[in-house]
Amino acid sequence: MRRFLEGILMIFSIVLLSISIYFLMGMFAQEKHDRDVYEKVIEIYENAEEQTGEDEDRESEEEKQVQINAGLLALHEENPDCIGWITIEGTVIDYPVMYHPGEKNYYLHRDFDGNYSAAGSLFISEICDPQNCDNLLIYGHHMNSGSMFAALEGYKKHDFYEKHPLISYSTLHGEETYQVIAAFSTPVYTGKDFAYYSFSKAVDARDYDNYIRTCKSLSYYETGFSAEYGDRLLTLSTCEYSHKNGRMVVVAKKLEP
């Protein structure tokens, strides 16, 4: 009887080990696929930028000022849902930004090509109109590998903010720079939480000011910067694990050239 039980236990252990190996292999394969897709995106982006760099030598100063990001334009031609590129210098955040308003969270688990991906893509909320919204909401996963928006966790510390106060955002209409004004974490969809995720277009100045005031009051620290009605906002959001169903949120305002 004892030998029988030991045999059953061994078989059970082998089955568990086999299942674990299967899932690990699947995870590694998915990560490799995600890296391959990103490398392809980077190649398209950089090749177009290099070509533009050669052409710029022959352009006038006026032509250079109106020129859009050639790398982003090349990606947009590859996939029209790609309408932006976000970079936070000194971090791994250097990714294309997708927009597919016809379906909620379309790129939550889709890569640049629209195929399944656990990491998904950075994407603009479907409630936003990128052309005229007051607040551009961009979502991304907090990956254990440190990719996507995992680096936003660093904004919990003031010294990290001091090293990374600016966010660069390229659009099909030009280059934009945003100054971080607040960073906070909050639970979401509780019925009592701060619904930052529903703020895209302010009803009026009071509505806008209330949003800014709440962001500043929740912030881990004072940045010394704020925003006034009429300032364009950029809000980055990812998962955060000190709260149940928590989110890490970084809010920035657009700087005028």
Q: What does the pLDDT profile of the chain (257 residues) look like in tens digits?
A: 555 555 555 655 555 544 544 444 454 455 665 677 788 888 888 887 666 655 555 555 444 444 678 899 999 999 999 999 999 999 999 999 999 999 999 999 999 999 999 999 999 999 999 999 999 999 999 999 899 999 999 999 999 999 999 999 999 989 999 999 999 999 998 888 999 999 999 999 999 999 999 999 999 999 999 999 999 999 999 999 988 899 999 999 999 87
Q: What does the alpha-carbon distance between residue 99 and residue 72 come to, in Å, rounded to a whole number?
A: 13
Residue 23 pLDDT? 45
Q: Model pTM?
A: 0.83
Residue 64 pLDDT? 47
Phi (first) and psi of residue 233, to 5 degrees: -110, 150
Residues 6 or more apart whose CB falls under 8 angstroms from that of 33 comprise 111, 117
Closest CA to 119 of 239, 234, 25, 19: 239
Residue 52 pLDDT? 60
Tell me the CA distances in angstroms from 8 to 5, 22, 118, one per residue in order: 5, 21, 35
Q: Where do we find the tokens 């790129």?
A: 107
